[in-house]
Structures are given as C-alpha cells and as structure tokens.
Amino acid sequence: MPYKKVLDTMQPYKPGKPIEETKKEYGLTEVIKLASNENPYGYSPKVAEWLRSEAQLLQLYPDANATTLKETLANKNGIAPEQLIIGNGSDELISIISRSMLDETKHVLMATPTFPQYVHNAKVEGATFTEIPLKDGHHDYEEFLQAIQDNTSIIWICNPNNPTGNVLNSAELEAFIEEVPSDILIVLDEAYFEYIMAEDHVDSLEWLPKYENILILRTFSKAYGLASIRVGYGIGHPSMIEQFNKVRNPFNNNTMAHTIAKIAVEDEEFLQKSRKLNAEQRERFYTFAKEQGLNIYPSETNFVLIETKRDANELADELMKRGVIVRSGNLLGTPGYMRVTIGTEQQNDQFFEAFKQLL
C-alpha cells in the first residue's frame, strides 16, 4: 500500500507495561505506576458524585462547539470563548496544529529532550525540524533564534519541560517571544501549569493581548486527574482558533467528557489539594536525592528526573520486579536518569525503599 514514506522510520507509541501484566509477570500483589504523571489523588469528588447520579443521552451527538465547557473555562481564565479550542487531549491539539500548518515545505523548532509528539507530528506531515539541545537543563534561546529559517512555521516550547520538569524563567521566555518574527506560531505547551509554585512565574495568559502568535496548551490529564476522559484545550487569538477549528473533527470529545471537565474546573478545592500534596511530596524526592548523592532536576511538575547511577533500563526493570513502574530516561533522551511521577506519601515510601535496595 502506498503509505507515506516517513512511516518506515517511525514506531507506534509504546505504552508502559500495565499494572495487571506486571503483577502477573513478577508474581506481585501490589504494583504502583509512577510512569505517566497521572494524579495519584484521583479526581474531584464532585466528578465522582456526578458519575454515580447522571443518566446520559448517549444517542445524541456531543455539542461540536463545547459551548458550556468553553464558557466555564473562559470565565475562570478571564478570556473569551472564541479564544478556546477543545481537543481530545492536548495530544490531539498538537496534531491539529501540525496538520493545519505543516507540509514538505515547512520547518519547525523544538528543544531536545522534550515532549516527543512535536517531532512525531512534524514527521507525519513531512516537515523538516531542528532540535535544539537543552543547555544546562534550560532552553537555549540564542540557538533557537539562530536556527530560525525562512520556512519556519512553529516553535514548540514545553513549559515546564517534560521530561526535565523545570519551569522556564518568565522574563527570559517573554524576551524570546519578543524576538521571534510574528508570523511564526509559538506553542506554549503547559500540561503541568497547575503544579507550578515558582513565585516569579508569570501566567502566559497575560501575554495573549500582546502577542497574537502564541497558543497556550493546557490539559485535564495531569493536575485535574482526568487523563482518561481525553480533554485538553488551546488558548489563542480568535482568528488562529478559527483556522484550527477547520481541521478539528467536529465531534472530537464526547458529551460526558465535556461535562466532567466543566465540573472539574469548578472544583478549585481538589486542584489546590493536589497541588499542595504534590509540592510536599516533591520535597521528599530532593531530600532523598541529597542523602543518596544523586542528581535531580528542579521540578515544578508532578514528576522528577533523577539520576540512576547505572543503566536506567536495567534499574527500571529492577524496580518493576519490586512493584514500582517508572520511565527509564533511555527512552526519553536522558540516559542515566529516570522519570518518576510523584505519588502519594505511601507510594513514594515504596519507591524510596525499593530504590535504596538497588543503590
């Protein structure tokens, strides 16, 4: 069959081993998954309540405009509904953006290591790309500016960056945005926005009136604890949103997902609780790293990138035998490190205990 040639060089997404498989393979009764940065505290109890109570009109198509969810998000963020596009997770928005803007004549820019979907979608659309290595763990803006070509269409910025977890300095980032030609789209992927605690962090929503070429991506999959419902959203200039809406499948989210996301936005208490518990538990990882003499990246997310002192795949396998699933840095472009989702107090105890035995 005449598939796109680039597919010969690509692999389907490799999911981590599911909990039930791991239990069976290693004869374990308890396994914790600290590999995908899900929220270990679950989701809003208001969502749970709604799920128990509500009868659904499953025969009807969902609202293709996500009207109620957009109104709720617009009110909460002080923006207009026309500035919003809702995706089947922000993953889908990354592909909608790429599909809208890229082809064989276009070029995109991103850091490395960073979230792999930016490169993945560029490849599918046949675009060329330049990956700019992080410098001391940070985005190297000088190199980004140098790498801009006449046909550069998108610059992808993951902030906080996955897999390193660090947040970009707001003043430096804004100075960079200022330097980028205004006909290049700058996507700010802020999947971990709700976890950021840094006091000098500026909410990028404030930049929207000044820079019409930025698009902010946020998601319900991480701090809201709703990875399974597949809802992410983009915020940008209405004229940009209109273009992306032409490419979006009209019924890309189901009705339940819209309603659940709306209820979640309205439960600020659950979000704040997750944020606080996550920050407390995150401290324990720094303390552990210090005690054990391991490098660790400063994280503003619900995961940490921590040194393994040996081959990361091997360590991840050993941890799995002890009932803890993490992500080896070998797969993420950070060999010698692993990415660990910050769990509950008890889950983290189990991780520290297992890791200690292996050090």
Best CA proximity match to 18, nearest among 38, 44, 41: 38
Q: Which residue, 89, 344, 117, is CA-closest to 228?
A: 89
Binds ligand PLP (CB under 6 A): choice among 113, 232, 323, 329: 232
Smallest gap, in angstroms, from Cβ of residue 105 to ligand PLP? 26
Closest-CA residue to 229 (of 13, 43, 55, 12): 43
SS3 state at 35:
coil
Rule CB under 6 A: is residue 196 a binding residue for ligand PLP? Answer: no
Can you list the positions of beta strands (E) in 268-336?
303-307, 324-325, 327-328
**Residue with structure tokens 């205004």?**
182
228 in Cβ contact with 68 (< 8 Å): no
Q: Which stretch binds ligand PLP (CB under 6 A): 22-30, 87-95, 169-177, 313-321?
A: 87-95
Among 189, 194, 300, 307, binds ligand PLP (CB under 6 A): 189
Tell me: does residue 195 bind ligand PLP (CB under 6 A).
Answer: no
What burial letters (b/e) apply to 36-66, b meaning 16+ CB within 10 Å? ebbbbbebbeebeebeeeeeeeeeeebbeeb
Listed ranges 7-15, 88-96, 269-277, 280-288: which one lies at the site for ligand PLP (CB under 6 A): 88-96
Query: Of the candidates 72, 90, 259, 330, which one interacts with ligand PLP according to CB under 6 A?
Result: 90
Residue 91 in the binding site for ligand PLP (CB under 6 A): yes
89 contributes a contact to ligand PLP by CB under 6 A: yes
The residue within the footprint of ligand PLP, chosen from 83, 166, 221, 278 (CB under 6 A), is 221
Give yes or no for residue 191 binding ligand PLP (CB under 6 A): yes
| Nearest CB to ligand PLP, comparing residues 300 and 323 | 300
Nearer Cβ to ligand PLP (96/296) = 96
Task: Give the three-state DSSP class for 160.
Answer: coil
Q: What are the backbone dihedrals phi and psi of residue 303, each rounded to the nearest 5 degrees, phi first? A: -145, 160
Q: Residues with Cβ < 8 Å from 16, sequence gap 6 or more?
A: 33, 35, 36, 325, 327
Nearest distance, CB of residue 74 and ligand PLP, angstroms = 19
d(C-alpha 175, C-alpha 146), whole Å = 15
Contact with ligand PLP (CB under 6 A) among 44, 95, 153, 162: 162
| Residue nearest ligand PLP, Cβ-based | 89
* By the rule CB under 6 A, 225 interacts with ligand PLP: no
**Identity of the residue numbered 94:** I
Is residue 159 involved in binding ligand PLP (CB under 6 A)?
Answer: no
Residues 237-296 within binding reach of ligand PLP (CB under 6 A):
none
| Pattern 107-146, ligand PLP, x by CB under 6 A | --------x-------------------------------
Distances (CA, A) of 225 to 53, 114, 180, 329: 20, 22, 34, 24
Binding site for ligand PLP (CB under 6 A): 89-91, 115, 158, 162, 189, 191, 219, 221, 227, 232
